[in-house]
Amino acid sequence: MRHVGFDVGGTLLRVLAASDGVRGPVARHEVPRSYEALLDLLTEVTGPGADAVGIGLPGTSAEGTPVFVPALPWLEGRPLARDLEARLGAPVRLGLDGHLTLLAESMEGAARGRRSAVLVAVGTGIGGALLVDGRIWRGAHGSAGSWGWLQGEPEPAPLAAGYPAHGGFERAASGSALGGRGPELVAAAREGRVPPELEAHAVRLARGIAALSSTLDPEIVLVGGGMADAMDVLGPMLAVHIERFASPDGRRVPVVAAGLGSGAGVVGALLAAEIGEDW
């Protein structure tokens, strides 16, 4: 049995294959800038003889067709699963990248053994996922866990100006909200000098995490994405502000870094290929 998982990001594509359960190394490619070029790359990398393929996307899909993928808008409305299945002769399963990340974390990472968990993936944007009774809750339209659409500062644009592509929490507390200075600010904090910009960012991020831990009452909250690597300095700051903003029970929910790092998404995509639809 041979299975292949792809984690397709805005600029980087990760690949992980397994033959009879034995995994190879993670390979990395630049994401092509057109639909046909992406199909060609996925086909070439998968090669012949795959039994199933799982693909994580930075957006939602319905019936094998990407619907809302702001980072790769040229994917929207294209029958990706059907077209790739025609080339490979194997089933192709699409999933929201946050869902697949939490699937991996629940089976092999920081949420292993938990029946409920929340993933807050903080990178260029903010996404995530929700584990309920040991299963990923996908939602009616496949977008459950899109925490970036929680409200925050700045306020959303008026309806007359059109609907924004990014929610308020994402605009306030994602890595992009730091204007590309995230690594620099984290490095300063590690040297004992906590920049005011990073402290303010922790406050904004803590508001959203406190809302999730208070309203959903999970066993654990995982911080994933690029910010997971900064939890050594960000974690203590978040704890102080979550104590301010969360309910009594929300304050009891541990907030930890995701265990599998940036490779969790591709592991989840491979697991989806191996498990099938029942995850």
3-class DSSP state for residue 242? helix
The H or E element containing residue 81 is helix 80-88
Q: Write down the pLDDT at residue 151.
A: 85
The reported pLDDT for the residue numbered 230 is: 94
pLDDT value at position 183? 94
Q: Are the CB atoms for 107 and 86 separated by under 8 Å?
A: no
Q: What integer best gives the mean pLDDT of the chain?
A: 94
Helix (H) or strand (E) holding 272: helix 264-275
pLDDT at 105: 98
Where does 2-99+263-275 sit in CATH, by number? 3.30.420.40
Region of residue 252 (phi > 0: left; psi between -120 and 50: alpha; otherwise: beta)? alpha
Where along the chain do its domains lie?
Answer: 2-99+263-275, 113-259
Q: What is the pLDDT of residue 155?
A: 56
CA distance 46 to 15: 9
pLDDT of 154: 52
Q: Given this chain, do its domains 2-99+263-275 and 113-259 carry the same CATH topology?
A: yes
Contacts of 191 (CB under 8 A, 6+ apart): none
Reply yes or no on domain 113-259 having CATH 3.40.50.620.
no
Q: Provide, rounded to the nearest whole percent, the portion of the chain with pLDDT above 90.
A: 85
pLDDT for 277: 85
pTM over 0.85? The answer is yes
Each residue of 143-152: pLDDT tens digit? 999 999 998 7
Q: Which two tokens mark 196?
A: 């005011």
- The pLDDT assigned to 96 comes to 96
pLDDT of residue 112: 98
Stretches where the chain sits below pLDDT 50 are none
